[in-house]
Structure formats: C-alpha cells, structure tokens
A = this chain, B = another copy of it.
Amino acid sequence: MSLLSYFFGNKPKTASVAKERLSLIIAHERGGNRAPDFLPDLQRELIAVISKYVNVGPDDIKVQLEKQGNCEILEVNITLPDQQQPK
C-alpha cells in the first residue's frame, strides 16, 4: 500500500471539492539506549512551524500517538478552513 493511498484513499479527487488538508507523521524508533522521549516537544515545535505557513486554530488539529515497544508514531492531522490562503 502506498502512502498516497493511505492518506488520500483511492477515490478520485475533484480539486474543486477537496478540502485543504495537511497531515504530519513522526515515526521514531529508539535504539537500545534509554534516550529521553523528545517527541512531545518536537511535536509542539513542528506545529508552530506549520502555523507560520497556514492559519491553524487549535480545533483544526487532531493529534494521535501510537506506541509499540521502542517505536512511536505521532500523527497530526490539520484540516484547513475552506477559503484558506497560506500566509
């Protein structure tokens, strides 16, 4: 399965209907050492950077964290308002 089909599915996209969406995934596999978990801080900073490009309100952001062993996946989904013009 490709990432394109994971994120956007296989249904044909008509540009005029599509909502503007931005998804950010951070997948972190920690090596053997008990390195500190920097994902929460990294997530905050990455969202701050994204907010410089698009007008994002707290309600537009959905965050999901999945953990399995020393692997973590942080998924940040941002739905942008319709008449969105990037800054």
Contact = CB atoms under 8 A, between A and B. Distances in A.
Interface string A58-87: 000000001011110101000010101110
Protomer copies: 2
Contact of A31 (B6, B20, B24, B50): B20
Contacts of A25: 3, 23-25, 27
Given A20-B35, A35-B86, 7 more contacts: A6-B6, A7-B71, A15-B32, A25-B25, A31-B82, A35-B84, A45-B49
Interface of A: 1-4, 6-8, 13, 15-33, 35-36, 38, 41-42, 45-46, 49-50, 52-54, 66, 68-71, 73, 75, 80, 82, 84-86
